[in-house]
Amino acid sequence: MKAISSKISKTLIPMSTLTCADNSGAMEFRIINKLGKGHRHGRLASAGLCDIVIASVIKGTPTYLKKPVRVVIIRQRAAIRRANGMRVRFEDNAGIMVGDDNLPIGTEVKGAMAREVVERYVKIAGIASRIV
pTM for this structure? Answer: 0.90
Per DSSP, 32 falls in state E
Q: What single-letter amino acid sits at 77?
A: R
pLDDT digits (tens, 9 = 90+) for 59-107: 999 999 999 999 999 999 999 999 899 999 999 999 999 999 999 999 9
CA distance 33 to 60: 20
Per-residue pLDDT of 8-25, as tens digits, reads 888 999 999 999 999 999
pLDDT of residue 21: 94
The CATH number of 7-131 is which of 1.20.1250.20, 3.40.718.10, 2.40.150.20, 3.40.50.720? 2.40.150.20
Write down the domain spans for the chain.
7-131
CA separation for the pair 30, 17 (Å, rounded): 4
